[in-house]
Amino acid sequence: MTHDRYDDEALRKILQRVRSIALVGASANPARPSWIVTKYLLERGYRVIPVNPGLAGGEILGRPVVARLADLAQPVDMVEIFRNSEAAGPLVDEALALDPLPGVIWMQLGVRNDEAAARAEARGVTVVMNRCPKIEYGRLSGEIGWTGVNSRILSAKRPKLAAKGFQKLTIEER
């Protein structure tokens, strides 16, 4: 699979199918992108488990932090990697040691490791690299357009509002 471009519908299906996310590299600092993404995904109904060895035993946004993927108490649908491209290789291997396997490994913006992606795809795991699920969710739902960003999504259909919250759109079918 080429990872230079992703089909919008494929990304939408991933974000609709995934319900639980292990977020590796989570931060307790509200100024850090990983904290912002964790908060956003929690507000959209995802079950996010922060993974950070330095913060293990504590909490981020009310969610208990584990040290590593092997410490997860429950299976996850997706492992999101908020680390650099070099660190992504061993983290993908750690994700591939989970039983059951996560269905998706998602590497954040600026993170790409083609060798690790090939290992995961050989095991049947979907891989997304150099993308942010928060940005993709916002783009696909139309939320990102509220800030003046061109989402490349045109539709005459009224966007579907999320069940709760203020000005939250959903990626569910309209």
pLDDT of residue 26: 97
Question: Does the structure show a pLDDT above 60 at 143?
Answer: yes
pLDDT of residue 141: 86
pLDDT of residue 166: 53
Percentage above 70 pLDDT, the chain: 82
Three-state SS sequence of the chain: CCCCCCCHHHHHHHHHHCCEEEEECCCCCCCCHHHHHHHHHHHCCCEEEEECCCCCCCEECCEECECCHHHCCCCCCEEEECCCHHHHHHHHHHHHCCCCCCCEEEECCCCCCHHHHHHHHHCCCEEECCCCHHHHHHHHHCHHHHHCCCCCCCCCCCCCECCCCCCCECCCCC
Asked if 97 and 116 count as a contact pair (C-beta separation under 8 A), the reply is no
Residue 31 vs residue 144, higher pLDDT: 31
pLDDT in tens, 50-81: 999 999 999 999 999 999 999 999 999 999 99
Of 11-25, 77-91, 102-116, 135-149, least confident by mean pLDDT is 135-149
Question: Does the structure show a pLDDT above 80 at 163?
Answer: no
Label residue 2 by pLDDT band (50, 70, 90).
confident
